[in-house]
Amino acid sequence: MANYFDTKIEFLKGVGERIAKLLREELQISTFGDLLQHYPFRHEDRSQFHQISEVHENMPYIQLVGKVQRVETVGVGNKKRLVAYFSDGTGVLELVWFQGARWIASNLKMQTDYVVFGKPNRFGSKFSIAHPEMEVYVPGQQEAKPLQPVYATTEKLKRGRVDSKAIAKLQKRLIERAYERIPETLPAYLIEQYGLISKKDAMRHIHFPESIEWLEKARFRLKFEELFYVQLRILKLKLSKMEKSPGQLLGDTQLVHAFYEKHLPFELTEAQKKVIREIFEDLRSGKQMNRLLQGDVGSGKTIVAFICMLIAIGSGAQVAMMAPTEILAEQHFRGLKDFAKQLGLHIALLTGSTKTKERRIIDRMLRDGDLHILVGTHALLEEHVQFNNLGLSIVDEQHRFGVAQRARLWQKNDRFVPHVLVMTATPIPRTLAMTLYGDLDVSVIDELPAGRKPIKTVHRYEKNRLTVFGFIREQVNLGRQIYIVYPLIEESEKLDLKHLEDGYESIRRAFPDLPVSVVHGRMKAADKDFEMQRFAAGKTKIMVATTVIEVGVNVPNASVMIIENAERFGLAQLHQLRGRVGRGAEQSYCILMTEYKLSKESKVRLNTMVRTNDGFEVSEVDLKLRGPGDIEGTQQSGVLDLLVADITKDGKILQEARLSAMLVLEKDPELILTDHQPIRNHIYSLRQDSTNWSKIS
């Protein structure tokens, strides 16, 4: 049966070949269904007049009625503008024009009632509307207009006379014809439980709402549905994985006990113990583990990983650990080597710089099963790397790896898919984690080792530099070490390197008696490594570096992190950098150095860093500032392609949608109940329509 919504857009009255081509090329709209899903991105509210006294910042485009009291020109140069003071008796609002001032000034009439239409902005305690639409008020005429949809278009479309209004006209025509045919996509009991409106009403009111309330209902319904289907897909995937992949039984704890009793250098935190128990349950369950281990920087994920390795090795399997950079892989290797030695285990490091001769030895030992632990970069994924019996793959800092790479690790064992533990220090807000990693089980280390003092973070300007230098001296005298980090991005690499070198020089001049290391991405790996080692061993007191030290580096004696041009870093990066200190028992500090002039967003970032040490709180703010699109790892997940829902704002709906999807699958994993017919039909229609399906899968 041909689906009505797959009808080519040419068949809609008013759409000729020319417009069809434009819609297809500019907006990827080629069918009725595509057009209906081209939702307006906002509505103009001409349904009522608001009062100036009730105007607030978050209002959309609104309508006011009142009189112009006075007009004046203010500012000079390109700040010059015309301001009209507009009053409706409840308050005064400024109307502002940057262009066409002369014409407007001579045409505005005082004592005439105007309808003003626009988006209110706030400046301090005042509100203003820039370049408002205005017309003379005629009682009884302007109120009646319903909410108007505003659609995204492109320059090319507008030039072809397909503007927002033209699209609205087509939508109106289509929705009238299609309304009765729009199938319900959710089961009746969910609609009832959540008080949702029907799919067809939602489609009508998302375009042409009768009122703000209806618009809200339509949005809620469509968001719920969208998130429900995302979750249903992820959960189904998870279910099928659980069915299909038996896992190697890894349940031996002898090695763990030996380590625990003789070698463990500290008491584990309760959170670490809890997480180890969760992983242990997985490893011995007979099913393949796919688990995400989240823990803020410094929460002690490495030791957890090692103990899990011991369970696997004790049960006769091998372990791989993959890190995103050579520096980090080496650091893991070094950290694990001593533990391994104490227990008589064999461990090796494999990266791009591993010599052929050594590589051959590694390959052979791996195949013979003599090598217990292999740590490395993505070099681990290469063909020649073949294990005798890979039982557990640990991936550190997951957000740097694509899903496809993760999957390649699974193929390293012919008999069983290895258990996978993904570790990330980027605290992902729960809402996002649920969507991104919905196919993984999640464990969280939500506690730092005892005795850690929260890092003190301050924001300082250039004029404070001497004081900051004084502080460096003080800390070095106390026996501590200092990081000074400079931003470096490709686009301005030359200039950035110069800043770093200048900074290095000024440090040398200010502290001629102190040994200083410098590390940046342009250095040879061996030189970088040499400098890192010197700093880690305490031979140098100050480390001047770019963000190469961002991930994972561990020097517990370093207690001060100074970030230069901190306004140029993103929040996640700032938090990662800060996490390099505060790893020992000493009080640690993070100093954010910036210029005076800061954008609003930079200020929010800096204030957030000063206010909190909590990585989850930081990541929530980050998500709000940037939206999920920029958060690493989201690219492949499909969360970006959501049409109505917004992962940064709709966390509550997401939770309900997920819960519903879980209940549905629990009750009816194959979706065969009559109640679930709408779901079955919808999934089927999504599969038919490749464009839509790709949006969801």
- Rounded to the nearest whole angstrom, what is the least distance from the CB of residue 274 to ligand ADP in the complex? 12
Inter-helix orientation angle 254-262/326-342, to 10°: 90
Q: Which does 583 bind (CB under 5 to 8 A by kind): Mg ion, ligand ADP, none?
A: ligand ADP
- CB closer to ligand ADP out of 520 and 583: 583
SS3 71: strand
Q: Which does 171 bind (CB under 5 to 8 A by kind): Mg ion, ligand ADP, none?
A: none
Contacts of Mg ion in 318-347 (CB under 5 A): none
| The only residue of 429, 552, 579, 678 in contact with Mg ion, by rule CB under 5 A | 552
Could you count the other beta carbons within 10 Å of the beta carbon of residue 383?
5
Q: In whole angstroms, what is the distance from residue 289 CA to residue 216 CA?
A: 41
Stretch that binds Mg ion, among 281-289, 339-347, 510-518, 552-560 (CB under 5 A): 552-560
Q: Which does 449 bind (CB under 5 to 8 A by kind): ligand ADP, Mg ion, none?
A: ligand ADP
DSSP run (H or E) holding 501: helix 493-510
- Rounded to the nearest whole angstrom, what is the least distance from the CB of residue 299 to Mg ion in the complex? 9
- CB closer to Mg ion out of 552 and 582: 552
CB 135 within 8 A of CB 145: no
End-to-end CA distance of the chain: 24
Q: What backbone torsions phi and psi does residue 355 show, to the nearest 5 degrees?
A: -70, 150
Q: What backbone torsions phi and psi does residue 580 show, to the nearest 5 degrees?
A: -75, -20
Q: Which does 619 bind (CB under 5 to 8 A by kind): Mg ion, ligand ADP, none?
A: none
- Rounded to the nearest whole angstrom, what is the least distance from the CB of residue 520 to ligand ADP in the complex? 23
Task: Report residue 443 CA to chain centroid gap.
Answer: 19
Q: Which does 128 bind (CB under 5 to 8 A by kind): Mg ion, ligand ADP, none?
A: none
- Rounded to the nearest whole angstrom, what is the least distance from the CB of residue 611 to ligand ADP in the complex? 21
Q: What are 483's strand-pairing partners?
A: 543, 561
Q: Which does 30 bind (CB under 5 to 8 A by kind): ligand ADP, Mg ion, none?
A: none
- Rounded to the nearest whole angstrom, what is the least distance from the CB of residue 620 to ligand ADP in the complex? 20
- CB closer to ligand ADP out of 167 and 340: 340
Find the angle CA(96)-CA(98)-CA(102) to the nearest 5 degrees.
90
- Rounded to the nearest whole angstrom, what is the least distance from the CB of residue 52 to ligand ADP in the complex? 53
- Rounded to the nearest whole angstrom, what is the least distance from the CB of residue 549 to Mg ion in the complex? 13
**Sign of the C-alpha dihedral, residues 239, 243, 244, 250?**
positive
- CB closer to ligand ADP out of 52 and 395: 395
Q: Which residues bind ligand ADP (CB under 6 A)?
A: 266-269, 272, 295, 297-303, 425, 449, 554, 556, 583
Q: In whole angstroms, what is the distance from residue 647 CA to residue 624 CA?
A: 9
Of 194, 217, 196, nearest in space to 205 by CA? 217
Beta strand pairing status for 42-44 and 114-118?
A: unpaired
Inter-helix orientation angle 677-688/212-244, to 10°: 80
DSSP structure string for 400-427: GS-HHHHHHHHTT-SSSPPEEEEEE-SP
- Rounded to the nearest whole angstrom, what is the least distance from the CB of residue 272 to ligand ADP in the complex? 6
Q: Which does 295 bind (CB under 5 to 8 A by kind): ligand ADP, Mg ion, none?
A: ligand ADP
Q: Is 427 in the site for Mg ion (CB under 5 A)?
A: no
- CB closer to ligand ADP out of 149 and 579: 579
- Rounded to the nearest whole angstrom, what is the least distance from the CB of residue 326 to Mg ion in the complex? 15
- CB closer to ligand ADP out of 293 and 686: 293
Q: In whole angstroms, what is the distance from residue 305 CA to residue 321 CA?
A: 9
Task: Name the closest residue to ligand ADP (Cβ).
Answer: 300
CB 567 within 8 A of CB 606: yes
- Rounded to the nearest whole angstrom, what is the least distance from the CB of residue 303 to ligand ADP in the complex? 5
- CB closer to Mg ion out of 321 and 591: 321
CB 577 within 8 A of CB 298: no
Q: Which does 303 bind (CB under 5 to 8 A by kind): ligand ADP, Mg ion, none?
A: ligand ADP
Q: Which does 556 bind (CB under 5 to 8 A by kind): ligand ADP, Mg ion, none?
A: ligand ADP
Q: What are 267's strand-pairing partners?
A: none
Q: What backbone torsions phi and psi does residue 210 show, to the nearest 5 degrees?
A: -70, -30
- Rounded to the nearest whole angstrom, what is the least distance from the CB of residue 273 to Mg ion in the complex? 18
Q: Which does 269 bind (CB under 5 to 8 A by kind): ligand ADP, Mg ion, none?
A: ligand ADP
Q: Which does 298 bind (CB under 5 to 8 A by kind): ligand ADP, Mg ion, none?
A: ligand ADP
Find the angle CA(551)-CA(555)-CA(559) to the nearest 5 degrees.
100
SS3 466: helix
- CB closer to ligand ADP out of 582 and 628: 582
- CB closer to ligand ADP out of 300 and 633: 300
Which residues contact residue 6 at a Cβ distance below 8 angstroms, ignoring those fewer than 6 apart?
A: 31, 32, 33, 688, 689
- Rounded to the nearest whole angstrom, what is the least distance from the CB of residue 338 to ligand ADP in the complex? 11
SS3 68: strand
Q: What share of the chain is helix, strand, coil (3-state, %, to 5)?
A: 45, 20, 35
- CB closer to ligand ADP out of 298 and 427: 298
Give the footprint of Mg ion on this chain (CB under 5 A). Answer: 552
